Structure formats: C-alpha cells, structure tokens
C-alpha cells in the first residue's frame, strides 16, 4: 500500500520537486534496491531465529521511515530518496518470512486458501495505495499527508503482530517439528535451490511479472493523465495539487481485479491440481501470456479512448492476478520446509533486481530520451511515455514462456521435496535444518 501511495500522487511530487520522469522512477528503484539487499539477510535469519521478533523489528523501521519521509521539503529530494530506500526494510522482513509461517500452519488445500488470503492483499493494498493517496492529497491539498496515514496502519499491524502471531516449528504442517535435524550452511541451501529447476524457472517467471507490474503500477496513473491532457479532456497540471482522479479510478480497478484474479487463480488451482499435476505453472503461463495483448491494447487505445483503456487494463490485471497465490504455493511445495525462508529471499532478490527495481526507472529514462527528439509538448510528453510502455507486453510474453518451462519440471521437483521432507526413521535418515534458536508460538499478522 505504501509503495503505491507514492505512485498515486506522483504528478504532485514531480511538480513539488521539479523532477523529470527518470528521476521520479528513482523513488521506486531505490526502494526495491534496499529490498533486494535486505531480503537475503532476512531469509537467512528467518530460517534460524525467532520469526516474530524479526518481523517486528523490520516493520518498526518501516513505520518510522515512512512517517519521516512525509516531512521532506522541496530542496531535499535526495533525503526523500534515502528514506524511501530505508522503507524497504519492512517489506523485506515480512515478505520473506510471513509465507513460511503460513506454510508451517497449513497444508494441502487449506494452505492454498490461506496463501490466497494473504496474497490477495498485494493487489488490494496496491489499489488502496492509489485510492487513499489521491483522496488524502485532494482533501488536504498536500501530497505529504498521503504518506502519514500508512504509519498509523503499520502501528496497528505491529500491535496485532506482537499480540496474536504464532510461530510454529518449521515443517510442522508436514508432520515435522524440527526435532531430528542436522545443520546445513547457507551455501548448501543456495546450492540446493539452484539445482531445483522448478524454483529457478518460476523465479524467472516471477521476475518478468515483477518487471511488468512494477512499471505499470508506477506509471499508469500519470500515463492516463497525460493521455487525457493530449486529447483535451483534462487541463495540464501547472501547479499542485494536481488532479488525481486517474489514480483513484486505477486504484479501484486494481482492488477489484486483484480480488477477482487471486480468488479465481486459487480456485482453478484447487480444482485442477489433482487431475493435472503441473496445473499451477500452466495457470501462471496462461495468465501472463493472456495479459500481454490486453496491456498492448490498453496502451495503444489510450490516445483515443480512456474508457476502452480501463477495460483492457482491468482484464489484463485480472489475468495477471491469477498468479499471486499460485506462485507462492509452488515455492512452498517444491522447497523443503527448512529452506523456504531462504528460497523466498532469493526469489525476492532476483525478481526485484531484474524486475521492478529497474523497470520504473527504465521506462522513465526511455520516455525522457524520446522527448528530446521533438519539441516539448503535452502530446509528445504522452507519446514518449506510451512508446516506452510498449516494452511491457513483450516482457509479459517472456514471463509466460518461463512458466511453461516450470511446468516441465514441477512434478519431479515436488516429489523430490516430499521425499526429502518425509524421512523414515527406520532408514536412519534425518531431516537437515539450518542452525536455529528455540522459537515460541505466536500469531502471524502483517500489513501489506
């Protein structure tokens, strides 16, 4: 939610700091870069220490940094960039650890349902970021107030996390509480994951998905605003506060399509999984490959019909949202319980490093470069961003191909994970687990 609050008021931020498209993209890039750096650290800690305390620490830093960023003045844009980088601490902590706790609390169909309930808040939180950010900015006349609501919600999340969160033994839902274990090093964990073809190919698919969603989420509201200015529907924003109606509408579309897509993907997965062993990666492939032409149509139609653009954005986001819960479930059943936090961290690092860490900045840079070829005008400002957007559908097709590759290996890798997890005591085998401290029971709750 916090990440897309910035996107919801981006036009006002550009006017406030007098920055270009490429410089604006840095706000997202530095956030993701800190996320990338910290995710492996939290993954390492999450496989070894008390997961509740780790998430509390990360979320506390997030609350303080988010609130601090709302007080930056117009001459200190570099400070806003620094604070946005530090905000990544919170997301790195609970994004790597929370799914592993859910995986240890539930198994089978129940796990899929609970993972869906968790991941449904990715698009919902994204949409609420646009809605709340634009609404608060309009009500107060100052975009910085949009950043002051999220720390309140974060503090509530901290309270619920501290009071209610269970931290079950690793592998508990698979019938193992970590009682008979040997220690493995972090290097051994990484080597194991790199040999897991389903994990590798699905991570590449997630990377393409992150590139696509990161670019679209950051630039779509301002792209639609420029389209309407170019058509003469909306006056240009010369002074803040700028019109944020596009952010509000896009937020509503994101919430609705997110709920629909995640629910639909989870349901299809549960229905097909028993009959089609590789159904999950096929669902992801269909979602990515089908969304690409929808986004292409939305980009092309923006110059002539805003309603048609929203229709295709809605269809594309629904298809893309099929993947969220299914992807998390894939990781949980192709990786042994004692290495899931590390797997989450590595997947997060790769998908953000090659995905949404650079896509907003890349599209902004392409847009700025194209604008130099013609005299600056509202129409060319829109066209330059439109042309840079055309990169996204091609990345979507590439992601679909990665998921098709995952489908070739997933049945074998799932069986291997089950064999490594369920060790027979009569054979004298022992489950191997990284070094860890004694954990206590607590309940998991996080604000997305």
**For 73, phi and psi rounded to 5 degrees?**
-90, 170
- In angstroms, the first-to-last Cα distance of the chain is 6
Whether 441 is in a domain gets the answer: no
Report, as an integer, the average pLDDT of 34-50.
80
Whether 442 is in a domain gets the answer: no
DSSP 272: H
Q: Is the Cβ–Cβ distance between 108 and 175 less than 8 Å?
A: no
Report, as an integer, the average pLDDT of 8-30.
81
Element (H, E) at 332: helix 323-334
**For 428, phi and psi rounded to 5 degrees?**
75, 20
DSSP 232: T
Which of the pair, 311 or 117, is modelled with greater confidence? 311
Please give the Cα distance from 214 to 210 (Å, whole number): 6
pLDDT(435) > 90: no
pLDDT(177) > 80: no
Please give the Cα distance from 410 to 201 (Å, whole number): 10
CATH number of the domain where residue 385 is located: 1.20.1250.20
Which single residue is written with the structure tokens 């290996």? 409
Tokens standing for residue 218? 């950051």
Which of 294-298, 329-333, 383-387 ranks highest by mean pLDDT? 294-298
Please give the Cα distance from 9 to 244 (Å, whole number): 7
pLDDT(26) > 90: no
Q: What is the pLDDT of residue 282?
A: 96
Which of the pair, 420 or 414, is modelled with greater confidence? 414
Report, as an integer, the average pLDDT of 81-85.
88
pLDDT in tens, 258-280: 889 988 998 898 889 888 999 99
Please give the Cα distance from 100 to 46 (Å, whole number): 9
Please give the Cα distance from 102 to 118 (Å, whole number): 9
Whether 438 is in a domain gets the answer: no
Whether 444 is in a domain gets the answer: no
Q: Is the Cβ–Cβ distance between 154 and 63 less than 8 Å?
A: yes
Whether 448 is in a domain gets the answer: no
- C-alpha separations of 332 from 157, 167, 254 in Å: 25, 17, 26
Burial of 376 (C-beta count, 10 Å sphere; 0-12/13-18/19+): exposed
Q: What is the DSSP string of 122-149?
A: HHHHHHHHHHHHHHHHHHHS-GGGGGTS
Please report the sign of the dihedral spanned by the C-alpha atoms of residue 62, residue 64, residue 65, residue 70: positive
Whether 159 is in a domain gets the answer: yes
pLDDT(1) > 80: no
Please give the Cα distance from 347 to 60 (Å, whole number): 24
| Tally of domains in the chain | 1
Q: Is the Cβ–Cβ distance between 332 and 115 less than 8 Å?
A: yes
Whether 443 is in a domain gets the answer: no
| Domain that residue 223 falls in | 2-432
**For 165, phi and psi rounded to 5 degrees?**
-80, 120
Tell me whether strands 181-182 and 431-432 are parallel, antiparallel or unpaired: parallel
Which single residue is written with the structure tokens 């139609």? 301
Tokens standing for residue 329? 């479930």
User: How many residues in the chain?
Assistant: 448
Q: Is the Cβ–Cβ distance between 316 and 123 less than 8 Å?
A: no
Please give the Cα distance from 202 to 403 (Å, whole number): 6
- C-alpha separations of 367 from 225, 304, 323, 376, 384 in Å: 15, 20, 29, 12, 5
Whether 330 is in a domain gets the answer: yes
Give the global pTM.
0.73
């Amino acid at each position: 939610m916090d990440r897309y609050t910035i996107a919801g008021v981006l036009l006002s931020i550009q006017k406030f700091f007098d920055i270009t498209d490429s410089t604006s993209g840095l706000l997202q890039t530095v956030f993701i870069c800190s996320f990338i750096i910290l995710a492996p650290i939290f993954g390492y800690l999450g496989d070894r220490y008390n997961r509740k305390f780790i998430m509390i620490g990360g979320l506390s830093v997030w609350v303080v940094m988010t609130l601090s960023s709302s007080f930056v003045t117009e001459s200190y844009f570099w400070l806003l960039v620094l604070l946005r980088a530090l905000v990544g601490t919170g997301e790195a902590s609970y994004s790597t650890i929370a799914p592993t706790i859910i995986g240890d609390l539930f198994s089978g169909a129940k796990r899929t349902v609970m993972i869906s309930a968790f991941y449904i808040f990715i698009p919902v939180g994204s949409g609420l970021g646009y809605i709340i950010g634009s609404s608060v900015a309009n009500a107060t006349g100052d975009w910085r107030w949009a950043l002051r609501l999220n720390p309140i919600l974060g503090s509530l999340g901290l309270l619920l996390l501290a009071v209610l969160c269970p931290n079950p033994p690793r592998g508990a839902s698979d019938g193992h509480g970590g009682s008979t274990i040997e220690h493995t090093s972090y290097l051994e964990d990484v080597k194991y994951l790199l040999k897991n073809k389903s994990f590798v190919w699905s991570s590449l698919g997630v990377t393409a998905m992150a590139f696509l969603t990161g670019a679209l989420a950051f630039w779509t509201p301002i792209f639609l605003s420029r389209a309407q200015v170019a058509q003469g529907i909306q006056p240009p924003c010369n002074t803040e506060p700028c019109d944020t109606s596009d952010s509000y509408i896009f937020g509503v579309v994101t919430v609705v399509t997110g709920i629909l897509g995640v629910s639909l993907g989870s349901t299809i997965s549960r229905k097909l999984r028993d009959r089609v062993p590789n159904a999950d990666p096929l669902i992801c492939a269909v979602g990515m490959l089908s969304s690409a032409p929808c986004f292409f149509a939305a980009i092309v139609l923006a110059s002539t019909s805003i309603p048609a653009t929203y229709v295709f954005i809605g269809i594309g986001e629904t298809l893309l949202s099929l993947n969220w819960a299914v992807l998390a479930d894939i990781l949980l059943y192709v990786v042994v319980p004692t290495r899931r936090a590390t797997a989450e961290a590595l997947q997060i690092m790769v998908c953000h490093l090659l995905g949404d860490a650079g896509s907003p900045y890349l599209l902004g840079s392409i847009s700025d470069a194209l604008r130099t070829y013609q005299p600056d005008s509202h129409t060319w400002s829109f066209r330059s961003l439109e042309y840079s957007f055309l990169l996204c559908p091609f990345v979507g097709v590439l992601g679909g191909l990665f998921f098709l590759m995952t489908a070739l290996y997933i049945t074998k890798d799932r069986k291997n994970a089950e064999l490594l997890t369920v060790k027979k005591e009569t054979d004298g085998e022992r489950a191997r687990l990284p070094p860890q401290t004694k954990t206590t029971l607590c309940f998991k709750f996080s604000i997305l």
